[in-house]
Structures are given as C-alpha cells and as structure tokens.
Amino acid sequence: MTDLIRDLILRWRDDPAGTYQSWFLWDERLKNFRSIRRGLQLVVAEIAAGTFGVAYRGSSLETVVHSIAEQRQIFKGADHAFLWKPKLRIPDIYENPANQKAFGQLLDTCLCCNTEEHVVSAIHAIDARKIKGLGPAVANLLYFLHPTIMPPFNTAIVKGYNALTGSKVKLGRWEEYLAMRQGILKLNATYRALLSNDLGAIGGLLFDLGSGRYTAPPLEDNETARKLWEADLHQVREQSAKEARTLAAERETDHTHTEIQGWLRDLGLSLGYDVWIAANDRSRPWQDGKLGDGCLSVLPGFTTETQGAESVRLIDVLWLDQESHRIVAAFEVEHSTTIYSGIVRMLDLALGSAAQALEGMFLVAPDKREIDVREQLKRPAFSRIADLKVRYLPYGALEKDREAIRRFGHGLKPIQSISHLLAPV
C-alpha cells in the first residue's frame, strides 16, 4: 500500500494540471499569505472596535475570503461557508455580538501565536460555543496563518482523505476536522520527502483525489483491484499530457507575469531609474539571464526593522531615483489573480516613509481585466484607492508604446499618459 501511495504522489506531482503544479508551485501563491494575514488583522480590529457590522456583503471578511476563493481550484467556493443565510440565521457571527467577538478572538489568537498547542486550543474554545454554521471551513483562514500546522478544508479534501485512508470523516464538525488533521500530519510525515512541510501540498493531493481527478489506491491487497487502479492512473497520465499541450498553447497567446516585469525593468533602466524586482522573482530566467540582472540587490531605506518592509520588497517592480534613492513608481502586475494582494503591498508602501517621493502607483493587467478590477474596487476595503491615486496600465498600451517611451520618454509622464486613474465610482 505504501508503494502505491508513493506511485500516486509521483504521478500527481508531474501532472501539469494537478494542484501541485497549477497551485502549490504557483509563483503568486506565497505572496498572498502576507496580504491575507493583513486582511484578517483588519477583521479582528473591526470586531474589537464594534465597527465590523452585521452583514457579510461589503465587510472586510468578504474581501479576505474572496481573495482566498480566487486561489485557483482548491479554494473555489471557499466563500460559501461565510455567506449569510438569513432563513437559517447562519453563520451566526453577524447578528450575534457575542459570537462575533468569539470569532474575532479565534482569529486574533491564531494571528498572535505560533504553536500547534495554542492554535488547537483556540479551535476547542470556539467549538465549545457551538456557534451555528461556524465550522471547519474557518480552517481555510487558519491555513494562511499557519500553513505547517493547519491543513486546508473542503468537501473534496474530506472525500479524498476518506478514500485514501478508509476513514469516515464527516463534514461540519470541528472534532472531525481535528481528527482528520492528525491523520494528515501522519501521512505528510511519511511522505514529506515527496510533499512539503506546507500542508497545502498534501491538501492539494487529497483535493484531486476527492474531486475525482485521481482514484485512491485500493485499500485491500487484491491484484485485480491494483491493476484496475494502475489502469486508471495511466488514463489520468494520458489526459494530463493532453492538458499540458492545451496549457502550452494558451500560454503562447498570453503574456507571462515575468515578461511584463521584464518590460518594466528594461523601461525603467532606459529612463535612468534604479530598478528593484520583487525579492522572490529576481532569480527567474528572463531572456539570456535573470530577471534581477542590472537591478538593485538591496532596497534602500528598508531594513528588517522598517514597518511593512517585507511586503514592499514583494512589490513586482519599483523604480527609484538614482540620486536620492527614493522610490518614484511602483508596479504590481496582476496577471490572473485578485488585486487584493497587490493593493495591500501598495498600501504598505504608500503609508510608509518612502511615500513622500512616490509619484506613481500602477496596477498592470490584461486589457480585459479592467472591468473586473473596477468592480473589485467598489469594496469598502479598497476605499483608500482614490487617495492613493493608483492607475491602471493595460498590457496592450505598455506593449504598444514601451519602445517609443524607451527612446523618447522622460520621467513618469509617458507612463501616466497611457494609463488612467482607478478611483472607484
């Protein structure tokens, strides 16, 4: 049985359309941890101040959960558990002040603590209150706070776990989730060399099993059952090869995140700016070298003690004045994801000490995403956008005009002329 699970993991890791390659190894995944933590801090602060409100729609919680739900297939539908169901009066954290405060205390405890003991204790405390409709779906929030302690949770993950282990975990109860969590930790320890300390990896495996992409190995020692399972695995492998070709064809007609960063890097350097590339992107291959070639290796003025420094270092591209070393322009490339993470990083920069020299903040995204971006900016959590004067820079305009700007442009005026303000209406 151990060998079969190992075979399954190896096949799954090589699957270009499985969650391991399409989500877990996704370049943007880690950037979202910081912004989701920041969003949950806002939820806690609003609950403590009594300003959270009595509705999910338009709340700071909706903004955070929405950004999680856009984390590709594994978290699709993550917001369903938090949607207010008026006839059932669940989840009962909107109209009941005591339950709302208890929910805020759970998040606050998990934001502040770092140990398994404290996190599990906080879960037991919220479970003891028996708040209607507030079950293990909350674990998806906690995963982004403690990815090595709390595995993600949804129906498909539970189904996958039951199929792989022969367990009968049920949905909706914290005690069932905690029991499953123990089993997941044991599985992960056994196959950690093929998975990760981050429980998102094994969560993705269970998701692909539970959603039907893969069939779990037979639990019984039966040669016929084993051959049938291997035939199913081979069929998935053939299907994965077809999907890989489809994905490759789609990428040929679209610009990659790295490509846009490369354009902005080269344009900034040609205009006489020093350029900073996001700390976790500098080593990406680009043209005949790396994306960080010719760019700053240290971001001036942002030490480990500087508030928000970690977030600012993850902004996709920064242009700095060569003499003053102050940040002049910031660019967040939102290729296919929610704008939430990028806006949080912009806020950390705009509200910090480097803001006084900042002349431009740009969301760079496909032309067709502007309507979606404007819709998202209507959320209360983005009310500061008008003050920040963030601008929308479409891929098409950047591609069309970047060469002319490089040859004849000066300062930020040409970039500003092909972009436009994103003040919500």
Name the residue ranges covered by the structural domains of the chain: 4-211, 257-421
Cα torsion 320, 326, 329, 333: sign: positive
Does residue 323 surpass a pLDDT of 60?
Answer: yes
Lowest mean pLDDT, pick from 212-221, 251-260, 311-320, 326-335: 251-260
Task: Please tell me what DSSP assigns to residue 88.
Answer: T
- State mean pLDDT over 9-16: 92
- State mean pLDDT over 117-121: 92
Does residue 194 surpass a pLDDT of 60?
Answer: yes
- State mean pLDDT over 188-202: 96
Residue 252 confidence (pLDDT): 45
Output phi, psi for 95, to 5 deg: -95, -15
Does residue 148 surpass a pLDDT of 70?
Answer: yes
**With bands split at pLDDT 50, 70 and 90, how would you rate the model's confidence at 253?**
very low
Does residue 390 surpass a pLDDT of 60?
Answer: yes
Sheet holding 360-365, edge to edge: 274-277, 317-320, 327-333, 360-365, 390-394, 420-421
Does residue 259 surpass a pLDDT of 70?
Answer: yes
Residue 17 confidence (pLDDT): 85
- State mean pLDDT over 99-104: 96
Residue 205 confidence (pLDDT): 97
**With bands split at pLDDT 50, 70 and 90, how would you rate the model's confidence at 366?**
confident
Does residue 247 surpass a pLDDT of 70?
Answer: no
- State mean pLDDT over 97-122: 94
Does residue 250 surpass a pLDDT of 50?
Answer: no
Does residue 136 surpass a pLDDT of 80?
Answer: yes
H-helix segments, 50-131: 60-69, 97-112, 116-128
Residue 237 confidence (pLDDT): 54
Q: Cβ(164)–Cβ(216) under 8 Å?
A: yes
Residue 254 confidence (pLDDT): 47
**With bands split at pLDDT 50, 70 and 90, how would you rate the model's confidence at 154?**
very high
Residue 334 confidence (pLDDT): 82
Report the alpha-carbon distance of residue 90 to residue 12 in Å, rounded.
Answer: 37
Residue 241 confidence (pLDDT): 60
Does residue 16 surpass a pLDDT of 50?
Answer: yes
With b for 16 or more beta-carbon neighbours within 10 A and e for fewer, the 157-185 pattern comes to bbbbbbbbbeeebeeeebebbeebbeebb
pTM: 0.71
Q: What is the mean pLDDT of the chain?
A: 85
- State mean pLDDT over 62-83: 85
Report the alpha-carbon distance of residue 48 to residue 111 in Å, rounded.
Answer: 14
Cα 323-324-327 angle, rounded to 5 deg: 115
Residue 227 confidence (pLDDT): 63
Region for 275 from its dihedrals, namely left if φ exceeds 0, alpha if ψ lies in -120 to 50, beta otherwise: beta
In the chain, the percentage of residues whose pLDDT exceeds 90 is 48
Q: Which 3 state secondary structure label does DSSP give 101?
A: helix
Nearest residue to 397 via CA among 416, 424, 411, 412: 416
